[in-house]
Amino acid sequence: MPTLSRGRLLLHNGVAETQLSEPLTYDAEIAFDVRHAGFQKFAWVGLLSKDSNSGYAVSWDSSGTTPSGPMWGGKGIVRIHKIDQQTPVSFDLYGTALLGGVSAGNQLITDSEPAHFRVCWSVDSRRIDVYMNESLVHSYIDSDFSSFQRVAVGGSEGDVVDNVRVRIPIGAELPFETCEAEDTAHPGLVRRLEDPTVSSPAREASGRSYAHLGTVGDYIDIPVSSPANTAVFRVCVPDAPSGSSVTYTLTLQKVVNGVEQSLQAGPVVISPTHAWLYANASTPNDYEGLSNDSSPDRKPCVFWDEVRVRLGEELPTGTKLRLKKSQGDTAEYYLVDLVDLEFATPIAPPAEPFLSVADFGASGSDSADDTAAIQQCLNAASAYEPKKVVWIPSGRYYQQQPFTVPAGVKVRGAGPWFTEILGSQVDPPDDWSGTMGFKLDSDVEVSDLFVESLARTGRSIGSNAFDGGKGKTGWKVNNVWISHTLTGFWVQGTGQVRNCRVRFTYADGITIAHSANGVLIENNHVRGCGDDGTAILSHRTHTGDTRTENCTLRRNTVSAIWWGMNGDLGGGKGHLVEYNYLVDNALFPGLGINQPVSEDFGMFALENSIVRRNLVLRSGGFARGTPLNGQWGSALWILAGNSNNGLFGSEAIHAAINNVTIADNRILDATYKGLQIQGGAPQYAVSFLRNIIRKTGDFGVLIEPGSVGQSILFERNTVTCVPEGKSVFVNASPTTYTAESYNNSWN
């Protein structure tokens, strides 16, 4: 049988298996390394059923020689096997069906370095893709199996399989690595959430924990696991007296072989300017009335901000980055939530014909307003056929009015670490037009920029970083980083937001608004926002607003939202919300179907939509003065309200939910309830399939009194780890909310 030694499986004509923590019904990736002991060998890794008698395996076979030498040029052959039999699979995969085989590319059996395999499984297309040393070598489509419960490794004498790992690609693929401060700090410096009903830095922190540096000499070390030359620090320092400004320093060093060394970047400079908002003492969890007023009858919240630092040098793998409170660091305390490390290089000018904003008078190296110069460049690029690209080189550019990007124009910067667009003008009161950001026309592209408001310090109305206009189509925003604006994206029409970062907006991070059709929000990282992190809304606030349709939220990571939900689906038709990682919400559900009772946001019905394969972690809160009505809110929330918006006379906005599937979601470590269903509008044909709720602070599933539903289905859902005295499943509306239940595990 195989033996386990130093993390490696040495194969001895046997099979080693392990049970997955839960059935695998998502897209998945299994990676592993293989080194052959010589020719005439065989090694494989597979995803199997609970009885190990069905599933798929990928093998690398080095058996077979000819008089002139090894077969397949000494490279071996990579095969996909289909396992469908009565007995558990054998080490040699005897009796399995071969789904084709190919040469192993440029890897020789005799190479001393192992071959790196990555096998990608798509549950929707039933496609298996096999990568060897990051080259696609084999693919096959087979529809017989869609769920797996075991990982198995097998093979012949002397072969070695190493680093077997299964990954579910939920959330965004990111160019940086995040280290939570509490994971590396001395235990005595760590502070954790104690009471989720009380505003505190821990409630708003990523991981609901942080490190507290309060004494000279306190420090935390951040391990550098891959080369880095930039860092982001999510930190909190004491607020300044009302109306004043202050900055603090925090010593930044590198530690090499245990020895502290200085960094070219010098200390981190931290200001509380954008953080520290205050709520009414009588309603401290109602953030609608937040202001900068810090008088004694106000309660503080919104503690964290982020600081970007270019380190001035490359930190190699194995180095430690040290944050230390030294003698000259004068803040009473420094709270550190997390650190992002990244290796960033500037992007070269575009290969296509372009106009540089520098040729129109935009400097990038002074504090003068660059609005007019950049707008002139945008207009000039539009005059060409085909349109020229607008190039914004590395530098800091100041903006006092929004840029209007003409149809067909592309805007590119040198990367979000290098090209910065900085809003320096305070938004006028009661004016949504704003003083910064980009207005998107049809077929425009904006990419590779950093966009920040220097002037905004509160939740008053004003600038959105990106407005995608109603009726505009084909717009794209890619690799843009946004901070301190009112919202990051408030978009309509048809377009894409991909690979972007939104950090600390005072309202929504990325919202698809009414009248949108076919908008894709994919692979974005959103953190620390003051309303919904990501949202699809189909509200009717103006005559002529049309239903939002066919929009997608896919593979986004949304964390540490301090007001609003991480993911919000509010009305429309044909939407898809999938593979999102929604984690750490201070006051609201992590994921909601939100059809509110609201004069301002009366919604079209939600129809024909799917919410699937999302991970919701540490979510749900106590949001007083909201549609939750002061209840201890759930991690996954379904609200079907009724509304009548006066703009439409006597026409009722009937916010029903119809033909919606909620499937294969994982709800873990919910602050209160796992799933909460409420609202008086009818819900029809809603299916809850194979969802997992594990560890709650309250009920597992609660259908509130007054809920209305017909043709509701609960099938193969699992609820575990509910507190003593709390029920796993409660339907408090049994006569009005009728549901069928099959094969659920309510433990």
Residue range 648-669, pLDDT digits in tens: 333 344 558 999 999 999 999 9
Tell me how many degrees the CA angle 97-103-109 measures, rounded to the nearest 5.
Answer: 105
Question: Which H or E run contains 201?
Answer: helix 201-204
Nearest to 290 by CA among 562, 558, 490: 562
Least confident among 145-159, 305-319, 528-542: 145-159
What is the per-residue pLDDT for 597? Answer: 62
Residue 682 has pLDDT above 60, yes or no: yes
Amino acid found at 325: K
Q: Which residue carries 């607008």 as its tokens?
A: 390
pLDDT reading at 695 higher than 70: yes
Kindly report, residue by residue over 434-459, the tens digit of the pLDDT.
Answer: 889 999 999 999 999 999 999 888 87
Q: How far apart are the first and last CA of the chain?
A: 37
Residue 6 predicted with pLDDT over 70: no
Residue 415 has pLDDT above 90, yes or no: yes
Task: Look at residue 103 in the predicted model and tell me its pLDDT.
Answer: 67
Is residue 20 very low, low, confident or very high in pLDDT (cuts 50, 70, 90)?
confident
Give residue 293's pLDDT. 85
- pLDDT at residue 620 tops 80: yes
Q: What is the pLDDT of residue 469?
A: 78
Q: What is the mean pLDDT of residues 112-120?
A: 86
pLDDT given for residue 72 in this prediction: 55
Q: Alpha-carbon torsion 452, 453, 456, 459, what sign?
A: negative
Average pLDDT over residues 267-278: 94
Indicate yes or no: pTM above 0.75. yes
The answer to whether residue 19 scores a pLDDT higher than 60 is: yes
Model pLDDT, residue 200: 95
Q: What CA–CA distance (Å, rounded) separates 84 from 139?
A: 19
pLDDT bracket for residue 168 (50, 70, 90): confident
Average pLDDT on 411-427 reads 94
Q: Which two tokens stand for residue 326?
A: 């030294």
pLDDT score, position 607 = 93
Helix-then-strand count for the chain, H and E = 3, 68
Q: What angle do CA 507, 430, 471 make, to 5 degrees?
A: 65
Would you say 66 and 182 are in contact if contact means Cβ atoms under 8 Å apart? no
Q: 292, 309, 294: which is closest to 252 by C-alpha?
A: 309
Would you place residue 644 in the very low, low, confident or very high pLDDT band (cuts 50, 70, 90)?
A: very low
Q: Give the pLDDT confidence score for residue 599 in this predicted structure.
A: 56
**For residue 456, what are the contacts with CB-CB under 8 A and spacing of at least 6?**
274, 423, 426, 427, 462, 463, 484, 485, 486, 506
* Amino acid identity at 604: F
* Structural contact between residues 277 and 459, judged by C-beta atoms closer than 8 angstroms: yes
Q: What is the mean pLDDT of residues 313-328?
A: 96
Q: How would residue 89 be classed by pLDDT, with cut points 50, 70 and 90?
A: confident
Residues 341 and 179 sit within 8 Å (Cβ to Cβ): yes
How crowded is residue 113: how many other Cβ atoms within 10 Å of its Cβ?
A: 10
Output 107 or 746, whichever has higher pLDDT. Answer: 746
Structure confidence at residue 63 as a pLDDT band (50, 70, 90): low
What average pLDDT does this structure show over 467-479? 92
Q: Please, which residues have CB within 8 angstroms of residue 13's CB and are 6 or more apart in sequence?
A: 91, 92, 155, 156, 157
Residue 463 has pLDDT above 90, yes or no: no
Distance from CA of residue 720 to its chain's centroid?
25
Number of CB atoms found within 10 A of residue 152's CB = 21
| pLDDT computed for residue 632 by the predictor | 62
Q: Residue 264: exposed, middle, or buried by beta-carbon count in 10 A (0-12, 13-18, 19+)?
A: exposed
Pick from 503, 508, 462, 464: which is nearest to 481 by CA? 503
Q: Is 187 exposed, middle or buried (0-12, 13-18, 19+ CB in 10 A)?
A: exposed
Mean pLDDT of 355-369: 95
**What phi-psi label fits residue 50: left (phi over 0), alpha (psi between -120 and 50 degrees) or beta?**
alpha
pLDDT the model gives residue 73: 58
Rounded-to-integer distance, Cα 211 and Cα 208, Å: 11
Cα Rg of the chain, angstroms = 28
What CA–CA distance (Å, rounded) separates 305 from 274? 7
pLDDT single digits (tens) 214-236: 999 999 999 999 999 999 999 99
Give mean pLDDT, residues 461-468.
84
Q: How many CA atoms lie within 13 A of 696 on its CB side?
A: 33
At 112 the pLDDT is 74
485-494 tens-digit pLDDT: 999 999 999 9
Q: Which residues pair with 633 in a beta bridge?
A: none
The percent of residues above 70 in pLDDT, for the chain, comes to: 89
Q: Tell me the average pLDDT across 624-641.
A: 70
Is pLDDT of 65 > 60? no
Name the band, by pLDDT with cuts 50, 70 and 90, for residue 7. Answer: very low
Q: Which two tokens stand for residue 656?
A: 């029903």
- Using CA atoms, how far apart are residues 250 and 292, in angstroms rounded to an integer? 25
Residue 542 has pLDDT above 70, yes or no: no
Tokens at residue 416, please? Answer: 């979000």
- Greater pLDDT, 432 or 579: 579
pLDDT band at 8 (very low <50, low <70, confident <90, very high): very low
Per the structure block, which two tokens stand in for 627? 């549609």
Alpha helices per DSSP H over 297-400: 371-382
